[in-house]
Amino acid sequence: MTTATTSVRETSEMLVAGPYQRYWDLGLKCFNEQYSATAAMQALYNAWMPPFNLSILASIIGALYGDTYWARTRMDGDLLAYNLQAALGLNPADCQKAAQYAFSHWFGLQVRANFSDDGAIPRGSNVTCSPDVVVNGQAPLTIAQLLNLWNVYNWDPKPGFKNYAYGRAQSFNIQVPITSPVLRMYYSDAGFNPPPSSWVKLSTFDGGSETSPLQGLNAGPIQIGGRAANLNAFGLNVPGTGHYCTISVAGSEFFTNNPSDSGSNWDSYQWITNNGAAGWHNMDVSAAKQETLKFYNQDATAEHFVFEAHSSKVPTGTTISLGFEDRKLAGASPTQSARISSAYQVVTTEADIPANSSGNIVLQIDGKPLPADASIDCRLLWEISPTHRNYQQAVTHLGATRALQQKEAVRLQLGNFTFIGK
């Protein structure tokens, strides 16, 4: 059978077109009848009418057998390629190419990382501004309201009270209904790269369940391209009056998506950039002169972290400072400050963070309160030297060919938290 070569754009268009629907339906039949992934590959291959498209077959299998290929922090393209070659006896290079394509974009329930999220995997650097993580204070919302506000940030937490929390998701790049959509929600201290062991599970208002079904405007399966929100609101009741990271995780019969501790900085970075069914909201109004953000070094070795505060439209004359709460870190890396004189400025500080430790970075804002159009985006960058064990993975992930050739250090953004005005 001839194998067709297909561009990314052509394949993306065909995923939502009619000619391949029969193969999605057959793939679903195989899944429901508990075929293994390789048996389903063979069934699809034997039923395929010429011209054969290996990229489409790989995409169907990758979408329907997500739990088979999820490797804790990402979809395992090497395993998919190996299975394709073993099941079909095709050229290994063609199988590798098809597998890489299949996992270069998200399939199934998508929780947007930001408004411009187009489903590409890995996600870009701005992964913690999800519009699909919703907190509406003490007022409940209906599914219809949540879906009507699809392109609106809805974030109105009320400190000291039990808040109504919701998550949204959309059926994305998958051409079969999703019959068992489910949502989990969590919160953690405001900051960067918190490991799942630090997350606090939310429970629903009604019966204290740790999960809620996702539902569209009508009850029943989420149809192709359909949008949904959790049927039962979660209760978000965080202590104190500080800021928090809120996390929404969608799962289905095809991809359970139950977070587990990664155990390293690299794994944490991989999980947040490769999981298209998880959303983070790390953005809040700053009403204080001082804000504290938590960071973690999850590695068993000391690692070099760079912290940046990117100010935008902050009033002229305001002084912004970044410093470490820990005295030892502060002694080695004194607080860095800048007096705002332009629309966009950056304040930076850095330090070697001890192994398996956590700490706090303190943002000081001395001046007028932030106006509504102003923001300070605090970022954590992990600097990886050419001799680091994760260097080759990092330059490959970033496409940093020049850095590799010049043997230069690279930086991965482990997270950010944005303070806005009002």
**pLDDT digits 0-9 by tens, 83-101:** 999 999 999 999 999 999 9
How many Å is the Cα radius of gyration of the chain? 23
- 0.85 surpassed by pTM: yes
Q: Pick the closest to residue 282 from 165, 147, 377 (CA basis).
A: 377
- pLDDT band per the 50, 70, 90 thresholds, residue 330: confident
Rounded Cα distance between 337 and 354, Å, is: 24
Residue 262 has a pLDDT of 66
43 vs 258, more confident = 43
Residue-by-residue DSSP string for 227-290: EEEESSPEEE--SSS--EEEEEEEE-SS---------SHHHHHHHHHH-TTEEEE-EEE--SSE
* 267 and 295 assigned to the same domain: no
Domain assignment present for residue 335? The answer is: yes
Domain assignment present for residue 68? The answer is: yes
* 95 and 120 assigned to the same domain: no
83 vs 330, more confident = 83
Q: How many domains does one find in the chain?
A: 3
* 368 and 300 assigned to the same domain: yes
- pLDDT band per the 50, 70, 90 thresholds, residue 263: confident
pLDDT at position 5 over 70: no
* 161 and 216 assigned to the same domain: yes
pLDDT at position 358 over 60: yes
* 94 and 116 assigned to the same domain: no
Last residue of a domain, one of 51, 71, 104: 104
Last residue of a domain, one of 254, 283, 312: 283
With residues binned 3-state (H G I as helix, E B as strand, rest as coil), the percentages for the chain, rounded to 5, are 25, 30, 40
* 306 and 275 assigned to the same domain: no
* 320 and 229 assigned to the same domain: no
* 249 and 183 assigned to the same domain: yes
Residue 411 has a pLDDT of 96
- pLDDT band per the 50, 70, 90 thresholds, residue 241: low
* Average pLDDT estimate for 7-31: 74
* 68 and 123 assigned to the same domain: no
Amino acid at 253: E
- pLDDT band per the 50, 70, 90 thresholds, residue 261: low
- pLDDT band per the 50, 70, 90 thresholds, residue 4: very low
Token readout for 116 is: 């411009």
Segment among 77-81, 128-132, 174-178, 194-198 with least mean pLDDT: 194-198
Residue 277 has a pLDDT of 98
Q: Give the up-direction half-sphere exposure of residue 322: CA atoms within 13 A in the CB hemisphere.
A: 23
* 76 and 186 assigned to the same domain: no
Helix 54-64 / helix 77-88 crossing angle, nearest 10 deg: 120
* 149 and 133 assigned to the same domain: yes
- pLDDT band per the 50, 70, 90 thresholds, residue 407: very high
* Average pLDDT estimate for 230-256: 91
Partners of 384 in beta bridges: 410
Burial 290-306 (b: 16+ CB within 10 A, else e): ebebbbbbbbeeebbbe
Q: Give the three-class secondary structure for 133.
A: strand
- pLDDT band per the 50, 70, 90 thresholds, residue 6: very low
Domain assignment present for residue 1? The answer is: no
CA dihedral 385, 282, 120, 296 (to 10 degrees): 30
H-run or E-run covering 79: helix 77-88
Segment among 44-48, 154-158, 171-175, 340-344 with least mean pLDDT: 154-158
Q: Pick the closest to residue 322 from 364, 268, 381 (CA basis).
A: 364
- pLDDT band per the 50, 70, 90 thresholds, residue 299: very high
Domain region containing 196: 109-283
Residue 284 has a pLDDT of 87
Token readout for 269 is: 């970075």
Partners of 214 in beta bridges: 230
* 158 and 91 assigned to the same domain: no
Residue 193 has a pLDDT of 87
* Average pLDDT estimate for 188-197: 89
* Average pLDDT estimate for 318-335: 89
* Average pLDDT estimate for 236-252: 87
Rounded mean pLDDT of the chain?
92
